[in-house]
Amino acid sequence: MRTDLNRFPFVFFPKKLNQQGKELQTLFKHNLNSQSDPFSSLLEKIRRTPYSQLDQLSKQLSIEELDLIIKPYPFANRNEPVLVRKITHILMKRYTPKIGRHVWMHYQHDQEHPEIFALLRYAFQVQEPRLRFDDYESKQWSILSQAMSDIDPIQSLAQQLVDSRQSIRKTLRTWRIQPKSLLEQRLLYTMIHLGLSNDRWIKRIKERWIIQQMKRLSKEQLTPYVVAYVQSRNADTFYAEELMTFFRDRFGDPQQKEENWGFLDKQSLEKVKQYYMKSQLKKFFAQDHNSHRFRFWEKYLDKVSIYELHKMQSVLFLFFPEFVVVEFAGTGNAAYFYHPEGFQKVVRPPYEKTQKEGYLKVQTRYQNGIPVFINRISHQGSWKKRMSEVVERYLEGNF
């Protein structure tokens, strides 16, 4: 599937390159006013030459003249697209490895310029002379050459980074990617986006490195990465715990801040809710040495509409469609079952006012005509069997 690269944030901004470009523009603008300047004269000659005679002109140019136009190409002539196209044509006709190296460096700072891409693609297509670097491996040459012939070269190269067993830095060095260039940044972030659906890649690269890169992103920029990770998995296969914790820290708990997760489809949102609910449940019952209570309620998470943790996370409310369960983190406490209306109007208010857990152990069946208490089940003996029968019955509305 093709990735829309416009969605990716690129944290590097080529300040030095832009500064050099402005200096070149100023220099060449000044030189254009000087009829004796070789560069200005050469540009003027190219301007005057019609396309039908460009091949002849290219044969006449000296090596020195070619050097004059390749170094600032195409940054010094951005406002003259016709002139840039003519120069591109000349450079193709007089192509040398030196021209290839220059255009490869230019491409690393501007992947959108059509003439740079056209010349670079040509460089990888010609048989002799090739765009050579001294110690290029034939395999890496094939990878670059294939990528440049694809519709989306960035996507292709990023996929190679995901699939490669070499370190990222070693591969980038082999491809002669300049550190901190725009191309490097685009490749890294596209690689992360592609790799997030691959557990082996995440394990190899390490979650902390991925998180370190994503910390630079705004919430809006981060959303496609969350989607890439969540949509490719079930809730029980979100193995990257550090990554999921990072997402929750940035967007909040989806139970309480569902609006922050609006970029997910309904199915993905439910998966995320279940994962975080399960994670919180496991942490809540951490005092249980055998995890029996956690494993019991884990089976019913898909039936829970809301969960809430209270009083420094020592009290848990589980809201089912027809009833509410109150559990306590400390062992030795029973689970209390209440009718939703009675819980909200009778049980909860005094507890929230005083924070005394005793108010959550009310066993009044009715108060002012409102049904309140349903049942109390201790976690002793064969409690799992008894509670399972009770929960199944309550889910059917049989109290």
What is the domain extent for residue 229?
Answer: 219-283
Q: What is the pLDDT of residues 162-188, one digit of tens each?
A: 998 888 998 998 888 999 999 999 999
Per-residue pLDDT at 248 exceeds 90: yes
Q: What pLDDT score was predicted for residue 34?
A: 46
Least confidently predicted of 95-104, 202-211, 375-384: 95-104
Q: What pLDDT score was predicted for residue 300?
A: 93
Place 74 in a pLDDT band, splitting at 50, 70 and 90: confident
Q: Please check whether residues 303 and 236 belong to one and the same domain.
A: no
In a domain, 167, yes or no: no
Contacts of 103 (CB under 8 A, 6+ apart): 70, 73, 91, 116, 119, 120, 123
Q: Please check whether residues 243 and 307 belong to one and the same domain.
A: no
In a domain, 179, yes or no: no
Q: Dig out the tokens for 335 from the structure.
A: 């689970």
Distances (CA, A) of 269 to 160, 164, 226, 300, 399: 31, 32, 11, 18, 32
Q: Dig out the tokens for 30 from the structure.
A: 């000044």
pLDDT above 90 coverage of the chain, percent: 60
pLDDT above 70 coverage of the chain, percent: 86
In a domain, 173, yes or no: no
Place 137 in a pLDDT band, splitting at 50, 70 and 90: low
Q: What pLDDT score was predicted for residue 20?
A: 55
Q: Which of 230, 257, 283 is the last residue of a domain?
A: 283
Number of domains comprising the chain: 3
Q: Please check whether residues 250 and 350 belong to one and the same domain.
A: no
Q: Please check whether residues 324 and 338 belong to one and the same domain.
A: yes
DSSP code per residue over 122-179: HHHH-SSS----TT--HHHHHHHHHHHHSS-HHHHHHHHHHH-SS-HHHHHHHTTPPT
Distances (CA, A) of 337 to 36, 60, 343, 345: 94, 93, 9, 15
- Other beta carbons less than 10 A from residue 143's beta carbon: 18
DSSP-derived 3-state class of residue 255 = coil
Q: What pLDDT score was predicted for residue 77?
A: 58
DSSP-derived 3-state class of residue 326 = strand
Q: Please check whether residues 319 and 255 belong to one and the same domain.
A: no
Q: Please check whether residues 358 and 397 belong to one and the same domain.
A: yes
CA distance 111 to 12: 14
Place 306 in a pLDDT band, splitting at 50, 70 and 90: confident
Q: Which of 147, 164, 189 is the last residue of a domain?
A: 147
Q: Please check whether residues 333 and 226 belong to one and the same domain.
A: no
Per-residue pLDDT at 127 exceeds 70: no
> End-to-end CA distance of the chain, in Å?
52
CA distance 390 to 321: 15
Per-residue pLDDT at 3 exceeds 90: no
Place 7 in a pLDDT band, splitting at 50, 70 and 90: very low
Q: What is the pLDDT of residues 318-352, one digit of tens each?
A: 999 999 999 998 888 999 999 999 999 999 999 99
Q: Which of 114, 147, 180 is the last residue of a domain?
A: 147
Do 217 and 9 meet the contact criterion of CB atoms below 8 Å apart?
Answer: yes
Place 17 in a pLDDT band, splitting at 50, 70 and 90: low
Per-residue pLDDT at 78 exceeds 70: no
Q: Please check whether residues 268 and 382 belong to one and the same domain.
A: no
Q: Please check whether residues 9 and 112 belong to one and the same domain.
A: yes
Per-residue pLDDT at 138 exceeds 90: no
More confident residue, 77 or 169: 169
CA distance 396 to 389: 11
Q: Please check whether residues 10 and 140 belong to one and the same domain.
A: yes
Do 13 and 162 meet the contact criterion of CB atoms below 8 Å apart?
Answer: no
Q: Please check whether residues 294 and 244 belong to one and the same domain.
A: no
